[in-house]
Amino acid sequence: MVNKKFELYKIRREVRRSGEQYDFFKNESNEFGSPTGEPVFVCSLNGIYHEENSHIFLTTGETTQYRSKKIPNILCEYSEVKEIKVGMYTKINNKKYNVTGVTNIQEWNLIADISLELVDNVSGI
């Protein structure tokens, strides 16, 4: 049996020690539901930024290419992610990251992982 109170204590301690504050925003919409482009502050939370590896195999003809891609995440307490929704964004080191999902780790309602995706603002392609 897992002591959930102790697991939550360990996460809180680590977030206080090594975590940072992240502010989350959403784009404002007009009365018709169209985005106006104005950011609206939703909430801020303390969490730990980390990355996981994703692997892709591309097969073309007789060759196979192996590529890995980093997926950024923020580890935090589950109680702090109630307002976080897919489509919101945060800024880390002046780079914009969209929220692509919120995972309830082990379905314990104690620890959450917010999946992010870097917004690439390349123009002129």
Task: Assess contact for 89 and 98: CB atoms under 8 A.
Answer: yes
Domain ranges in the chain are 4-118
pTM value is 0.84
Written as six digits, the tokens of 71 are 């997926």
CA distances from 114 to 62, 64, 66, 101 (A): 38, 32, 26, 6
Selected from 2.40.160, 3.30.870, 3.30.1330, 2.40.10, the CATH number assigned to the domain covering 4-118 reads: 2.40.10
Render 71-122 in DSSP notation, one character per residue.
Answer: EEEEEEEGGG-TT--TT-EEEETTEEEEEEEEEEGGG-SSEEEEEEEE----
Residue appearing with tokens 């206080």? 16
Query: Would you give per-residue pLDDT tens digits along the chain (125 residues)?
Result: 789 999 999 999 999 999 999 999 998 888 887 888 889 999 999 999 999 998 888 888 888 888 888 999 999 999 999 999 999 999 999 999 999 999 999 999 999 999 999 998 765 44
pLDDT, residue 12, reads: 94
Residue 21: closest CA among 50, 51, 48: 48
